Amino acid sequence: MKRQVESISEAELLRDYPMADLVPGWFFSQREVSAGCYVVAGKDIYGREVSRQSTDPDAALEECVVYARGITRTTQ
């Protein structure tokens, strides 16, 4: 029997993932964790997550967006 997944509210996600409107239903954050090293993370309303670490925050964000789009495409 499958477990029911409860969705996370957008307001709750926006607290930790303030970047929205890149992929429908996904929210992203970007942090510099040490000098010149960035972690970009994304989470959707169902709790699925993507992340990428890089010295280029823009490239890391783009990769996370691609991963999120791929996840969204495979679950529709």
Q: Which residues of 37-60 are buried (b: 16+ CB within 10 A; e: fewer)?
A: ebbbbbbbbeebebebebeebeeb
In a domain, 3, yes or no: no
pLDDT at residue 76, as a whole number = 63
Q: Report yes or no on 42 lying in a domain.
A: yes
Give the DSSP letter string of the chain: -PPPPPPPPHHHHHHH--B-SSSTTEEEEEEEEETTEEEEEEEETTS-EEEEEES-HHHHHHHHHHHHHHHHHHT-
Residue 23 lies in a domain: yes
Is the pLDDT score of 75 beyond 80? no
For 15-72, how does the pLDDT look when each residue is reduced to its tens digit (9 = 90+)? 999 999 999 999 999 999 999 999 999 999 999 999 999 999 999 999 999 999 999 8
Residue 41 lies in domain: 10-70
The pLDDT value given to residue 11 = 93
Q: How many domains does the chain have?
A: 1
pLDDT of residue 5: 73
In a domain, 59, yes or no: yes
75 in any annotated domain: no
